[in-house]
Structures are given as C-alpha cells and as structure tokens.
C-alpha cells in the first residue's frame, strides 16, 4: 500500500496573461509542485484593478508583453495599491535591461516561459520572504505602539514630580530622578503645608517599569492627601503603610525616607523605612549624621509595628543628602558597584556648588561609571543646604 501524498498547499494566484494556454501551463506547474492554486486571469488594467480590490492574493505572475497591457504597467498598479504581494514576471521575451528595470521597480523575480524549472522554488522563496516582511512589519508596529505607550507613561510620571524646588529663605533645595526604563519606581516629593512646614519624601518601589511606576503614583497620592491633613507625623506614614499593603501585594515593597522640615527652627523630623541612609554633612564636609533605617520597608512589615520618628536640628552650613539605591549600586562592566563611599566623596568635593549642581554631577559620574552598561535601577537624589 503506497503512502498518502501530503496535502497540497492552498494558493491564491493572480495571473496577468493574455494566453489561456500559458496561464494553464503555469497553474499545472504549481500544482505539480505541491500547491493547490486558485487562480484568476486578467489582461487589462481594469481587470487587474478589480481583482486587487475584490480578493487577497498570495502571489502575482505577469507576462511582460501583452497586446493591451505590460508587466511594467501591472507592477505600477500593484505597488500603487500598497499591497505587499510577491510579483514575478513570466515572459517569453524580456531583455536584460527591461528585467533589471522591473526588479528595481519592485518585481521580486523574472522567469522565461521556455524554462520554468525555477517556478516552484521561486514561488516558495517569495512566499516565505513575504511572510517574513509581514511579520517584521507587525513587530515594528507593535514596538512603535509600545514605545508610544512608554513615552506617554513617562510624560505622565514626570508630571508627578515637583515642578521645581520649594522657595524657602536660607535654604537651597533640589531633587531629581532618572529612571532606568521608560518609567521608574523611584519617587521624590516636596509637600508644603499651610503652617509653613515642608515634607520631604524619597521612595523606591521594588523593580522599575510601568508596574512600579503605578505603585509609586499611589504612594504619592496617599502622602500628598495625608500630609496636609494635620495628623501627627508618625500617623501619616502609618496610614500610608496601611493603605499601600493591599496595593503592593506580596511581590512588591517600598522603601521610604519620610521627613518634615520646620524652616523657622531647622528642626528635621524623619522616619527611614528600609531606605538607604541619609547623610548630613558639616560645612567642612565631614559626615555629622547617618540617618539609618529605623523600620522595615512598606509592604514588608505586615504587623504594622508603630513607627517612631527621630529628630535633629540642622545648622547653618549643613548639607543634607537623600538618595535611592540606584546610585550606590550602579555597576560597571566588571560588576563593581559605585558604592556609598564614592557618593559621599563626590558630595564632599562639590559641596560648595548649588544643590541642583551637586545632584547633576553625582548622577553624571554614576552613569559614566556604569557605562557602557544600561542603568540597572532608577537613580534619585535630594540635596538640601542650609
């Protein structure tokens, strides 16, 4: 018993040809090559235009010279219709110059009617190439759409950061955030109250991208709403922690440095919830205070242990630095980290500059250190000088 032959591959074939015999021979050649061609034959511009408008075609074969039509005219109609379908010229007589011109105009191949041995192979190749072109266009469109989504997300996120530093007499304050991806999970904010106090926040949601950016937006909204409510400092963060637990789930947490400045007295009240330490540098650059974490990051401590704030008084000439871990943990190609020691050295060296200049220099050096690698994490810094 002979094995069954494989099923023939369906193929919609448009033939631009004035000879029924030649069209039939071409169809039989395709059938012998494993295809099941469904064909339509046209030999005028009107017929070709109608065929293109009424059906989708997998491939087009066109004679070069016909009494009322030519492959050059046919190719122009096909290309002007913006249809990406392989176009192969099958001619009894076509000069080399005309063939080259046709290929430049967009024809994929040309065959001589007296030598059709390449027909099936040329058909298979052009069908495969057309499929790859279509897949590439789909991927490019998807990439462009994704890039546009990221652009819009980044634009929206950038609007969530402060428009500029708060204007306080005797204080120079600046903040900046640089996402590793189109959007980031880092967060900083300055929130002024009616009583004249200033809340300063630096946060970091685990990961980077759209998911952490959305969680960051939640945290920002809660903090902004509660910071102006007049509640006790610790109660504000305890309430935010409680609200964020459901949003964070079990896969994310937020490290947060939450502080309040009384500009009139220099009193600085803070809670460091799992965030990298903040630093206060004296006028000569020595590190006066390290503001270490005093409680777990939001989302980790699900028992909601009561939070305890710490207090200190800023003095004239002090420089206060808050950062996210994306700066000290920036890695170079050898896997070495930028490290907190280098962060402090840079700030000590540049401490006479403005807060904004210090942040720019710090981030520029961290990025240069990490090159040519991509940033592994978002970078955020706040500098306050009295």
Do 293 and 340 meet the contact criterion of CB atoms below 8 Å apart?
no
Q: For residue 182, what pLDDT is reported?
A: 53
Count structural domains, the chain: 2
231 and 168 housed in the same domain: yes
Tell me phi and psi for residue 303, to 5 degrees: -85, -10
Alpha-carbon Rg for the chain, nearest whole angstrom, is 35
Same domain, 115 and 259: no
Q: Are residues 124 and 176 in the same domain?
A: no
Could you tell me if residue 89 is inside a domain?
yes
77-100: burial string, b at 16+ Cβ within 10 Å, e else: bbeeeeeebbbbbbbeebeeebbe
3-state secondary structure (DSSP) of residue 56? coil
Give a yes or no: residue 30 inside a domain.
yes
Q: Are residues 340 and 379 in the same domain?
A: yes
Domain check: are 260 and 187 in the same one?
Answer: yes
Considering the domain architecture, whether residues 122 and 230 belong to the same structural domain is answered as no
DSSP state of 66: -
**Quick one: 225 and 371 in the same domain?**
yes
User: Do residue 236 and residue 351 come from a single domain?
Assistant: yes
Q: Judging by DSSP bridges, how do beta strands 35-42 and 9-16 pair with one another?
A: parallel
Instruction: Tell me how far apart the alpha carbons of residues 241 and 243 are, in angstroms, rounded to a whole number.
Output: 5
Q: What is the largest CA-CA distance in the chain?
A: 100
Rounded Cα gap, residues 211 and 190, in angstroms: 23
CA separation, residue 304 to residues 42, 237, 271 (Å): 78, 11, 14
CA dihedral sign of residues 239, 240, 242, 243: positive
Q: Which residues contact 110 (CB under 8 A, 6 or more apart)?
A: 64, 88, 89, 90, 91, 94, 99, 102, 103
Q: Is residue 71 part of a domain?
A: yes
The answer to whether position 350 is within a domain reads yes
- The domain that holds 350 is classified in CATH as 3.60.40.10
Mean pLDDT by 10 residues, the chain (386 residues): 73 94 93 94 94 94 89 91 90 75 84 86 93 90 76 67 87 90 76 92 80 81 88 91 80 90 96 96 96 89 78 96 94 90 97 97 93 77 96
Same domain, 165 and 57: no
CA distances from 26 to 31, 36, 45, 50, 87 (A): 9, 12, 21, 22, 14
Q: What range defines the domain where residue 121 resides?
A: 9-136
Same domain, 130 and 180: no
Residue 382: phi and psi, rounded to 5, are -130, 135
CATH number of the domain within which 25 lies: 3.40.50.2300
Q: Find out whether 74 and 42 touch, Cβ atoms under 8 Å.
A: no
Give the pLDDT score at 340. Answer: 95
Whether 149 maps to a domain, the answer reads no
d(CA 147, CA 152): 9
Q: Does residue 349 fall inside a structural domain?
A: yes
Q: Does 233 lie in the same domain as 371?
A: yes
3 inside domain: no
Which of 74, 102, 136 is the last residue in one of the domains?
Answer: 136
Asked whether residue 142 is assigned to any structural domain, the reply reads no
Same domain membership, residue 336 and residue 243: yes
Last residue of a domain, one of 101, 136, 171: 136
Contact 357, 346 (CB under 8 A): no
């Amino acid at each position: 018993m002979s094995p069954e032959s494989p099923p023939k591959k369906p193929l919609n074939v448009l033939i631009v040809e004035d000879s029924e015999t030649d069209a039939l021979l071409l169809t039989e050649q395709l059938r012998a090559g494993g295809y099941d061609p469904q064909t339509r034959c046209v030999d005028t511009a009107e017929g070709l235009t109608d065929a293109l408008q009424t059906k989708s075609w997998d491939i087009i074969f066109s004679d070069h010279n016909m009494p009322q039509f030519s492959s050059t005219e046919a190719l122009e109609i096909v290309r002007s219709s913006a249809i990406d379908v392989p176009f192969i010229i099958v001619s009894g007589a076509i000069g080399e110059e005309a063939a080259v011109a046709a290929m430049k105009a967009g024809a994929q191949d040309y065959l001589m009617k007296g030598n059709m041995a390449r027909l099936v192979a040329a058909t298979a190749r052009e069908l495969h190439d057309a499929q790859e072109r279509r897949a590439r266009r789909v991927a490019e469109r998807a990439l462009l759409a994704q890039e546009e989504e990221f652009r819009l997300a980044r634009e929206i996120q950038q609007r969530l950061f402060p428009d500029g530093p708060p204007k306080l007499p005797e204080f120079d304050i600046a903040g900046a955030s640089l996402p590793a991806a189109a959007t980031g999970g880092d967060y900083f904010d300055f929130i002024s109250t009616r009583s004249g106090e200033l809340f300063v926040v630096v946060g970091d949601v685990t990961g980077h991208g759209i998911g952490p950016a959305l969680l960051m937006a939640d945290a920002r909204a809660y903090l902004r709403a509660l910071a102006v409510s007049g509640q006790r400092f610790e109660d504000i963060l305890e309430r935010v922690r409680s609200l964020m637990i459901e949003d964070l789930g079990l896969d994310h947490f937020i490290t947060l440095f939450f502080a309040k400045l009384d500009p009139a007295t220099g009193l600085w009240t803070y809670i460091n919830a799992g965030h990298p330490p903040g630093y206060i540098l004296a006028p000569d650059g020595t590190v006066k205070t390290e503001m270490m974490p005093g409680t777990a990051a939001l989302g980790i401590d699900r028992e909601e242990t009561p939070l305890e704030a710490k207090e200190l008084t800023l003095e004239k000439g002090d420089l206060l630095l808050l950062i996210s871990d994306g700066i000290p943990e920036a890695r170079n190609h050898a896997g070495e980290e930028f490290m907190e020691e280098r962060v402090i050295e840079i700030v000590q060296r540049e401490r006479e500059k403005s807060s904004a200049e210090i942040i720019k220099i710090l981030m520029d050096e961290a990025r240069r250190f990490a090159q040519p690698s991509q940033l592994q994490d978002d970078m955020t810094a706040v500098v306050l000088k009295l």
